[in-house]
Amino acid sequence: MNIQKTLLIFLLWGVSFYSIAQSQQAIQQVVEQAYQEFKDVQEGKNADYIKELAKVDPSIFGIVMVDIDGNIYSAGDNFSQVSIQSVSKAFVLSLVLNESGPEVIKNKVGANATGFPFNSIIAMEINRESGINSMVNAGAIATTSLVNGATADDKWNAIVKKLSEFAGRPLEVDEPVYISEAGDNQRNVAQAQLLKAYDKIYFDADQSVDIYTRQCALSVHARDLAIMAATLASGGKNPITNSRVVSTEAVSYTLPVMATAGLYENSGKWLYQTGLPGKSGVGGALIAVVPGKFGIAVVSPPLDEAGNSVKGQLAINYIVEKLNLNPYLVESGN
């Protein structure tokens, strides 16, 4: 190779390195702007039907984005922990898809939107034949019951192991949250019994609810959640640990269910605004996945009427718009 060619290669390398650094700086700036823009929003209220959640500091506000190369962009409280709650449903779904394949979920749980709140019994009745989905409580309890393992301990260990692999660190249960919800869980117990009556639960009903309640009480912070979402964005490979967590196929069936029902009865509105699969939890966590690009997570406990983090929705909407992340926004090129 002559000297001119070598110099040209160095120059091009330098230019592309510079433009990557520039665009990373731009992403960090947008995340900081989103934080500044919404940090003083006072709307919403912590969930209180699980008593322990009412005690969580409502001022926690953290935004983290992780790209599929493992770069992290953040603002606010990266490391304040909340219980994962319903966000766990997306990851347990991907675990079951990874173990058993898409037909099992399609035939035994379903993948249709209910249009009803997350714990609706009417939705179970109406969708008795067609099935519901793994993002609402009844479908999530059925999904948890499908995790491989002969005993409740086996199933639980598989869930903690897999969700920890998604996060890239060992996750632990927030015991006070678990105890609080387990003591007040009549509605979920009733839903599991109804599933049993309909032959739609695949392990002991009470034990399935107990495992589900524990999975919802796992403690996570915004950075964990963004890494978990980025693992979905990268087709199942954790971009920080570089280990494969679930198959690409499992992710390809998880994201549509999130898009269909990840934000409860407001899932359509969310998809209309962002174009992205998302999942919220009543602990105040909200994640969104930009396939092939980013995982985005916000933690902020005050919720709207449907149970979705108010600041979470505002911040992610802002980021999606500023960085043009809506996958339906296609430039025609002419």
Which positions lie near ligand GLU, rule CB under 6 A? 85-86, 118-119, 137, 181, 188, 216, 281-282, 307
Interatomic CA distance for residues 233 and 230, integer angstroms = 5
A 10 A CB-CB count for 32 gives 15
Q: How far is CA 263 from CA 52, 133, 202, 221, in A?
A: 22, 12, 26, 19
| Percent composition of the chain: helix, strand, coil (DSSP 3-state, to 5) | 50, 10, 35
Q: Tell me how far, at minimum, the Cβ of 136 lies from ligand GLU, in Å.
A: 8
Which tokens hold the place of 253? Answer: 């069936």
Q: Tell me how far, at minimum, the Cβ of 175 lies from ligand GLU, in Å.
A: 15
Nearer to ligand GLU, 235 or 281 (CB): 281
Q: Tell me how far, at minimum, the Cβ of 119 lies from ligand GLU, in Å.
A: 6
A 10 A CB-CB count for 204 gives 15
Nearer to ligand GLU, 186 or 332 (CB): 186
Least Cα distance to 79 among 226, 293, 289 occurs for 226
CB 105 within 8 A of CB 252: no
Nearer to ligand GLU, 102 or 268 (CB): 268
Which residue is at the shortest CB distance from ligand GLU?
Answer: 86
Nearer to ligand GLU, 217 or 323 (CB): 217
Nearer to ligand GLU, 86 or 313 (CB): 86
Q: Tell me how far, at minimum, the Cβ of 190 lies from ligand GLU, in Å.
A: 12
Calculate the dihedral angle through the C-alpha atoms of 283, 285, 286, 289, rounding to the nearest 10 degrees: -130
Q: Tell me how far, at minimum, the Cβ of 178 lies from ligand GLU, in Å.
A: 10
